[in-house]
């Protein structure tokens, strides 16, 4: 597989929660899944009020919206 910039990757379709995403945690690059990110958000890891997310928008590999 040829190297490809994140900005050159195709857009994701509807997410199921099992998709792998890369995160930076305490200066260590790690792999997790969308379910773990959603759980973190629902448990108050991000300021604001959230209910069960029905959609997560990812643009060029970056989560830009959770609703």
8-59 pLDDT per residue, tens: 888 888 889 999 988 888 889 999 999 998 888 777 776 666 567 677 788 8
CA 21 to chain centre: 6
Where are the domains positioned within the chain?
6-66
- Start-to-end CA distance of the chain, whole Å, equals 34
pTM, rounded to two decimals: 0.54
Q: What is the pLDDT of residue 25?
A: 85
Asked if residues 50 and 40 have their Cβ atoms less than 8 Å apart, the reply is no
């Amino acid at each position: 597989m040829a190297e490809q910039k994140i900005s050159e990757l195709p857009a994701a379709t509807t997410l199921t929660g099992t998709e792998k995403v890369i995160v930076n945690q305490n200066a260590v690059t790690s792999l997790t899944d969308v379910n773990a990110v959603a759980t973190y958000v629902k448990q108050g890891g991000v300021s604001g009020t959230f209910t069960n997310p029905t959609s997560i928008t990812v643009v060029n590999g970056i989560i830009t919206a959770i609703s």
